[in-house]
Amino acid sequence: MSSENDTEKKSDESHAHHPSYVKIWAILVVLLGLSVAGPHLGIEIITLITAFGIAVVKAYLVAKHFMHVNLEKRYVVYLIATCLGFMGLLYAGVAPDVMRHSGRNWHNLAAQDEVKRAIAEHAHHPKE
């Protein structure tokens, strides 16, 4: 009889520490709405905050509550941080070439044409 009570206590204690997944989901949906609505305001700094700031918060919530990274051993967190660091290093290494419209042996004509088209359109319809 005592083993059944012990089992019930352990299961009740383990469930007491789990977050409400519906509550976390609702927070994620609200943050999604904010990140979608941000660019419609037309304010560049608000767009950047909603695009990147909210994305970081949402990624943290998913990693903590749904992937349970906070419950893993410490080396898993270090491994994830190392992977993110390598991803940033890769981006820093290729971004100077990818974000340019021409190089030593290549030209991105589509990007150059799009820049010319956007400048011409902006000249005809300046922002107020």
Helices first, then strands: H and E counts in the chain: 6, 0
120 vs 64 pLDDT, higher one: 120
Q: What is the DSSP string of 105-126?
A: S-B-HHHHHHHHHHHHHHHHS-
DSSP 17: T
Please state the pTM of the whole predicted model: 0.48
DSSP 128: -
- Quote the CA–CA distance of 16 and 10 in Å, as a whole number: 10
Supply the pLDDT for residue 90.
95
pLDDT tens for each residue of 51-61: 888 888 988 88
Q: What's the confidence (pLDDT) of residue 86?
A: 97
* Residue range 64-85: mean pLDDT, rounded: 82
For residue 102, the SS3 value is strand
Helix-strand-coil percent breakdown of the chain, rounded to 5?
80, 0, 20
Of 43 and 17, the one with more pLDDT:
43
**Count of other CB atoms within 10 angstroms of residue 77:** 13
| For residue 1, pLDDT beyond 80 | no
Give tens-digit pLDDT for 83-125: 999 999 999 998 887 788 887 888 888 888 998 999 998 887 7
